[in-house]
Structure 1
Amino acid sequence: MNLPVIQTQSGSADDSASSDRRHLLNLSLAELQQWLVDHGEPKFRGKQIFGWVYEKRVSQFDQMSDLPKKLREKLDQEFIVFGAREAAVQTSRDGTDKLLVRLADGGEVECVLLRGGNRRSICVSSQVGCAMGCVFCASGLDGVDRNLTRGEIIEQMLRLQARLDDGERLSHIVMMGMGEPLANLEQVLGALEIAKSADGLGISPRRITISTVGLPPAIDRLAKNGVPYNLAVSLHAPNEELRNQLVPVNHKIGINAVLAAADRYFESSGRRLTFEYVLLGGVNDAAEHARELAGILKSRNVLLNVIPYNPVEGLPYHTPSRHSIADFRQILESAGVNVMFRQRKGDEIDAACGQLRRNRATQPEA
């Protein structure tokens, strides 16, 4: 059961959500510049527009004061900056903000802003729902509806950025929200290209992480892309039998193929791999699991990120005991595995990915 929500906010639909205008955030800088040239405008206006959107956090064309009025009117007739709306906002005592974003077609996704020290990290979705079927995850309980566009991914980033105070900047991006990013690789890479660009959000690829359950052909395509993003592989089990139970798509892939693809990515990118392991009480948290996991990882240059489970209403999984967590950690560290246990944030809100969307879906509209 979730503790009381600190803040929940529902929004009314933006006028732009039902508009036939194009989503500006789907355009790269080069595409916007070409549109400007085609409409008799100088190319340099593209960087001005990007500056207003990505640096100055403006979402209305009439606020772009250094653009000619006629150009602002043209842009307003052709484009929208934000095409979705915030259906709900939850804020926890530790400063974690979670947004439920309702897309123009009615689909909903979640994204999160996490504050910790000087870090301002965001977790962003790539699909409406998820097809991977991880049995403990709220995101995939109803399957996948569709991939997000580049603009829909970027809009999540900008909506979270807008929640920062003046002078604060986003520092890290994690593609670890709803959906499997590598199943929507083209649109994800398009969004991250703008996120890392000096004309966009200006975030170093070394501070951008793409999470995956492990789709070897897509991991290889990501490696060929040549940008050294961090790769986080959601392992969740140390052996074939248990991973087949927890991550059903593993039946078609196999844990060895996932590990081999991850190794190839490391060789190509030079970036240390991260393996994610959601710790489920009484399921994958036994000492034997820790020893098996150590055997797989100790010879690899990896960080193991262990995540104690956030319970989801209606699912039969629970957070492991403190004793189990301590024993699991001790076995891994004694084997020389570089391990980090993630600090849980947002415990008093719908913290698990997909949980806010699912809980809202079962509640009548106010």
Structure 2
Amino acid sequence: MKGIRITKSGKYQVTFDQGIINGVRHKSTKVFDTLGEAEKALTEFKYNKQRNLLVTVNNMSLVELLDYWMKKYVKYKCEETTRYGYNNIISKHIAPYFVDVELSKLQPMHVQDYYDHLMKVKGLSPNTVHKHHACIRKALDFGMKQQLVHRNVADAVELPKKEFFEGVSYSKEQLNELLQKVKGTKLEVPVYLASYLGLRREEISGLKWKNVDLEKRSISIVEVRTSAGKNVITKGPKTKESRRTIYIVDELLEVLLRQKVTQKRFKDILKSEYEDSDYVFTKDNGKPYRVNSVTEQFSKFLQQNNFPKIRLHDLRHSFASILYAEGLDLKAISEVLGHSNVGTTIKIYTHRFDIVHEKPAMAMSKALNLKNSNVV
């Protein structure tokens, strides 16, 4: 077959003629042990060449591909928080490690060694390694579509097992104690919103008075505030289920009414120096807090008042756990939490809802009427 010749060692050398590119003819060769392998490779090459599916001849490095992916895909397709995360991973970790490694020479073992480096040298967690993997794999997928690489080597890499993180929940008694202790402090509003409605940090930080109806006693989650480095990002909720309206109970209504009065008092005192931002959770001058500020304040408050250490987000977990213990069904809990489906709620919370599986065990006992049987 034209394009195949037998070498002195008795093997079969295939010449892949990609034609003239930018005025230069590009050819490459590869040696195979059998004629069948050589013919198969050449046939596949010709098939791809006829359909313009050949990988572009280039000396691009992995880092250059990642930069190209960021500029041509991530910039237009991903949210700012995602872009920020990818950029951090690439600039702080991937680029310094791979430096000038060419795409054409990149092998699964290179990526595998990188993941080992992240855990053993950098001390990063398996979960963080999965984030790095997602970045590399998506960039290489883009490279395949652009015909810059012929395969995604990241697909052949073995990933470490993810670690399951389990937050801590407060009991009813602990939560009641916290709610009493936080009254009159700057944390009263966020703690009550998280405890009584299960709101996320970004939902609390992004809540505006225009989305609070004190007469009809409802709060609408239509906007959130988050951050990407020093940049504050205001956007809509991630899913349509997260966009929801929740009833304001008496205890929370009192807190919100007090917050209204407090903000009005500071506005009267500070006059032009007061910033009427319309946010519910603000500093004395009306400006909203940094997104991370509330979690920092919360952690410090717990330490100063000798409360068990939890995250602000764990108040959301406490909210869900207490509701379930009170007999509320999973669908209702899922809806108020703003989960995309009940499956998400089950995945996150079931292990803490019924740790000894008492409910199904008792249901089976009742069904078989074991209590009335003469069991020895």
TM-score, normalization by structure 2:
0.21
| Structure whose CA Rg is larger | 2
Tell me which protein shows more helix as a share of its residues.
2
**Higher relative contact order (CA closer than 8 Å, sequence separation 6+):** 1
Tell me which protein shows more strand as a share of its residues.
1
